[in-house]
Structure 1
Amino acid sequence: MEATASRHVPPRRSSVEPPALVPALSRALTLLDRLAEGRQPMTLARLASELSLPKSSVHGLCNTLVSFGYLRRQDDGAFMIGPRVMCLAEAFVHGTSVAQEFSALWKDARTAPEETVLLSVLNGAEVVYVAARNGLRPLGLAFNVGMRLPAHLAATGRAMLAWHDEAFVRRLFPGPTLVRMAGKGPKTVAELMKELTLTRRRGHSIDDENVREGVYCIGAPVFDATGQPVAGIGVCIHKAMLGSDHGERQRRVVVEAARLLSRRLGGELPLPESAPAARRRTRS
């Protein structure tokens, strides 16, 4: 029987090839990222050490970035982020829609969350629900896009209010008492301020039957590239369905979604118990 000669078959390439990167551009962007993370000027020697690059290479990168305005050289020779980056940031913010990015977030995930996730924005002293991602479990609650609720009662509203300063909150709620919907929730602005402090410490807000009897909601803030809380993400479930973990699973879903959406907008979610001063700049 004649033996069949074996042919060499080259390995099949993956259908998804890694993108080709330009080394010099990659090093320049890494340098900018390092300066942005450090938030302080850095010398040429320190940049070379932290990037594990020769001083001559870093010197050339810095000179190029300085000439284009993306870096600025101090009198002592240290480098810091230059004003030209603001043009990029402004262009990014101008072309970004929180509702569109929310929809894209779940499109990229390719899987539906277990619970329905809601997105709202502040409109005066109210929240307006602008988007929802239906979950595997039916919500069983009438939360519709366009619906409004008092911001001091809704979990997503408190999540946003907590990272504004007290003056901003008091302008929204000038009266001595606050409206209540289900007989629970803060009755005065002083009580609301205490609840917002607790929200910052936890890193998320809780609506325990403040809006509707038997309904438990968890909310987390969404930040944009300017550090502003521009939206709130929340999950609402029947209180009887909290389970033995008291809503910990839902909390993780909400916080992670808020973190990912913030990053899509160029922002970052603050850590629990972090000082909110840097985040509490209000819009004029």
Structure 2
Amino acid sequence: MSTTAPARATPRRTDDGPPLVPAVSRALTLLDRLAQCREPMTLARIATDLALPKSSVHGLCNTLVCFGYLRRQDDGSYLIGPRVMSLAEAFVHGTNVAQEFNALWKDAQAAPDETMLLSVLNGAEVVYVAARNGTRPLGLAFNVGMRLPAHLAATGRAMLAYHDAEFVRRLYPGGALPRMAGKGPRTVAELLKELTLTRQRGHSIDDGNIREGVYCLGAPVFDAAGQPIAGVGVCIHRAMLGSDRGARHREAVLEAARTLSQRLGGVPPTTEAAPRSTRKAHR
């Protein structure tokens, strides 16, 4: 039996927006509770968890069953129905990671001090799909459409770290890895060790792999299926790391990646999480 805490029948208001419709709030809270539980729930249990009269819950359940958002088992208990999939598909279809990234900065009065990047994997390379170049020149401009080796770029490593080892090996069938600035892993075995460290830290580090003196930090963005679909990065001059060794920049990139994942319906894993198998997603 699930030990998830009972849901609230009416969400707590945190703003001064328009009033909520009670019946809609109760119906959505009921769906949330069933989704959290992940097992059939009886009418009595739903009523207890939501602190609502059985008669009210009975009416809510009947209505949701009629519309396909719930299904009733032979024993009278309820499960999430198939109609919710159309909502999930519509959400995924209408969400674009680059648009969401750009939306993070739409209210900014000026460009950030440091360069913020968004890339996606394309084979063994990353392709930059959005960038907010900072006010401090790096000597290296990141433009939309630019490509770099994924095993050297911070955003690339952030994504590769959450793919399984078989996926990574397929990207580099020869086993040897090219280098740009004389740094970075030379072999797939060295890369896999670095990716393990990346997962343990929760972020990736490019210390001069792409350009000497440029220090980049990366974090993965996850979709609703838990797949790493993009990487967020911040790049600075190594001399500008400061006494905190880049802690401020690290938190900035992690927060941006968390926010993007949440907007895409994804939940970032813990730093100890193992990489997901990607055979199905990349067949």
Q: TM-score range by the shorter chain?
A: 0.7 to 0.9
- Please tell me whether residue 216 in structure 1 is matched to residue 215 in structure 2: yes
TM-score, length basis structure 1: 0.85
Deviation at 1:210, TM superposition (A): 1.8
The CA deviation string for residues 173-217 of structure 1, in whole angstroms up to 9 with x for no partner, is: 111211111222111111212222222222211112222221211
Q: What is residue 82 of structure 2 aligned with on the other side? A: 83
| Structure 1 gap segments, 5+ residues each | 1-15
How far apart, CA to CA, are the structure 1 residues paired with 2:142 and 2:260? 21
Q: For residues 270 and 53 of structure 1, do their structure 2 counterparts lie closer, same or farther at Cα, with a shift above 3 Å needed?
A: same
Amino acid at match of 1:89: A
- Secondary structure class of the residue paired with 1:236: strand
How far apart, CA to CA, are the structure 1 residues paired with 2:48 and 2:90? 33
Moved more, 264-273 or 236-245: 264-273
The higher radius of gyration belongs to: 1
- Please tell me whether residue 37 in structure 1 is matched to residue 10 in structure 2: no
Q: For residues 112 and 20 of structure 1, do their structure 2 counterparts lie closer, same or farther at Cα, with a shift above 3 Å needed?
A: farther
Amino acid at match of 2:53: P
How far apart, CA to CA, are the structure 2 residues paired with 1:271 and 1:169? 21
Moved more, 97-106 or 69-78: 69-78
Moved more, 205-214 or 100-109: 100-109
How far apart, CA to CA, are the structure 2 residues paired with 1:73 and 1:111? 54
Q: For residues 264 and 173 of structure 1, do their structure 2 counterparts lie closer, same or farther at Cα, with a shift above 3 Å needed?
A: same
Deviation at 1:223, TM superposition (A): 1.4
Mapping of residues 135-284 of structure 1, within 5 Å: 135=134, 137-277=136-276, 282-284=281-283
How far apart, CA to CA, are the structure 2 residues paired with 1:216 and 1:41? 51
How far apart, CA to CA, are the structure 2 residues paired with 1:166 and 1:153? 17
Deviation at 1:133, TM superposition (A): 2.1
Q: For residues 223 and 56 of structure 1, do their structure 2 counterparts lie closer, same or farther at Cα, with a shift above 3 Å needed?
A: same
Q: What is residue 66 of structure 1 aligned with on the other side? A: 65
Deviation at 1:112, TM superposition (A): 5.1
Q: CA RMSD in A?
A: 2.4
Moved more, 92-101 or 124-133: 92-101
Deviation at 1:110, TM superposition (A): 6.2
**Percent pairwise identity:** 77
Q: 2:116 touches 2:132 (CA, 8 Å); kept in 1?
A: yes
Amino acid at match of 2:170: R
How far apart, CA to CA, are the structure 2 residues paired with 1:124 and 1:86? 30
| Structure 2 gap segments, 5+ residues each | 1-14
How far apart, CA to CA, are the structure 2 residues paired with 1:51 and 1:280? 40
Q: 2:40 touches 2:77 (CA, 8 Å); kept in 1?
A: yes
Mapping of residues 43-62 of structure 1, within 5 Å: 43-62=42-61
- Secondary structure class of the residue paired with 1:96: coil
How far apart, CA to CA, are the structure 1 residues paired with 2:236 and 2:272? 26
How far apart, CA to CA, are the structure 2 residues paired with 1:264 and 1:110? 22
Q: 2:181 touches 2:211 (CA, 8 Å); kept in 1?
A: yes
How far apart, CA to CA, are the structure 1 residues paired with 2:210 and 2:108? 30
How far apart, CA to CA, are the structure 2 residues paired with 1:207 and 1:280? 27
Moved more, 218-227 or 118-127: 218-227
How far apart, CA to CA, are the structure 2 residues paired with 1:144 and 1:108? 21
Q: For residues 259 and 112 of structure 1, do their structure 2 counterparts lie closer, same or farther at Cα, with a shift above 3 Å needed?
A: farther
How far apart, CA to CA, are the structure 2 residues paired with 1:40 and 1:278? 25
